[in-house]
Amino acid sequence: MSYPRSHIGYIEEDFLAQLAEEARTKFGVGKVADYIPALAEVEPDQFGMAICHRDGRVQSCGDALVPFSIQSISKVISLVIAMRHADEFGLWQRLRQEPSGMPFSSLIQLEREEGIPRNPFVNAGALVIVDILVEKIFLILHHMREFVREHSGNRSINYDARVAESELRNTSRNAAIAHLIKSFGNIHGDVNRVLEVYCHFCALGMNCVDLARLFSFLASAGHSPISSQQLLSADQAREVNGMMLTCGLYDASGSYAAQVGLPAKSGVGGGIVAVLPGEFTVCAWSPRLDANGNSVGARWALEKLVDYLGRSPLG
Ligand SMILES: NC(=O)CC[C@H](N)C(=O)O
């Protein structure tokens, strides 16, 4: 089936329905994350996608209303909250904006680079951001939950306590990363508190529609069509999109940028959020992951979407 290339900013419903159908042929490829025991229990063969347009209108298909663990997608939310509350100059003294070319939980660069993480979207960088938030914001877990509820428009979003507990009990690697950073003086607070907050952020349960709506401000120069608030300046939103394009899929960020070209962030819960600046934010979800920890089905669906549109921000 071929689709007309010119449309008025919306996606044909037929295309979405066929995408959800075709996604089923990817079922069976890849593996759900099992290093966090609670995630290993998720039904692997599910697929959903939601698109939130600049005017806040949402289109969706498949399992777009099934909640899942957002995991590393939370790293974008914590970064955005830090950019809103911390002095940005200070922020970029404590971490960098460079792709790591390394798995998300690697320790290798940290030792060589004296505890300064490569970017906010690998675990090391997110742990530094969480340390900054814990220091700056009273009742940070409450603040984070209110932020996602208000700007996605879904008041029932919550932390999945079972996932948070499960990760906290199996977080030796993140603890090692946090202690190594602290040994260089780049985590100021208590490591256990930083890990507790980090694991809760990752354990937020949201669906594709919630995430597409929450991140809609990144497609609209920082202004959320959902809450009608300016969450970041246009420059800051562009900066976040740039980091997502270059660092959002860990050590697969380069091939993803070449093949899909939309700024994006993935999580080991199987979600990927992506942005077409000026037009829409999309969230695709399917729990089975490839070797880099990115969702096989969600990445495939984003490639299909860009093929359908016939363009990306890169041309
Ligand atoms: N890539 C991810 O989604 C990783 C997040 C996960 N909570 C971890 O720290 O390992």
Nearest CA residue ID for atom 9, ligand 1: 123
Q: Which one is catalytic: 100, 159, 250, 265? A: 250
Q: What is the pTM of this model?
A: 0.96
Q: How far is the CA of 77 from the centre of ligand 1 (A)?
A: 14
How does pLDDT run across 120-179, given as a tens digit for each residue? Answer: 999 999 999 999 999 999 999 999 999 999 999 999 999 999 999 999 999 999 999 999
Q: Which domains does the chain have, with CATH numbers?
A: 13-309 (3.40.710.10)
167 lines ligand 1 (CB under 6 A): yes
Lateral strand order in the sheet of 264-266: 58-62, 48-53, 280-285, 271-276, 264-266
31 labelled catalytic: no
Is 98 part of any known ligand binding site?
Answer: no
Please indicate if the annotation marks 253 as binding a ligand.
Answer: no
Question: pLDDT tens-digit profile of 49-58?
Answer: 999 999 999 9
**What ipTM was estimated for this complex?**
0.96
What separation in angstroms does the CA of 121 have from each of 55, 185, 206, 264, 310?
28, 20, 19, 11, 28
The two structure tokens encoding residue 95:
């971490």
255 an active-site residue? no
Name residue 28's beta-bridge partners.
Answer: none
Is 72 annotated as catalytic? yes
| 74-85 and 191-202 helices, crossing angle to 10° | 120
CA nearest to 3, candidates 19, 21, 15, 20: 15
Annotation-wise, does 10 bind a ligand? Answer: no
Give the angle subtended at the CA of 108 by the CAs of 104 and 113, to the nearest 5°. 105
Token couple for 165: 């507990």
Residue 159: active-site member? no
Residue 8: pLDDT over 90? no
d(CA 177, CA 198): 12
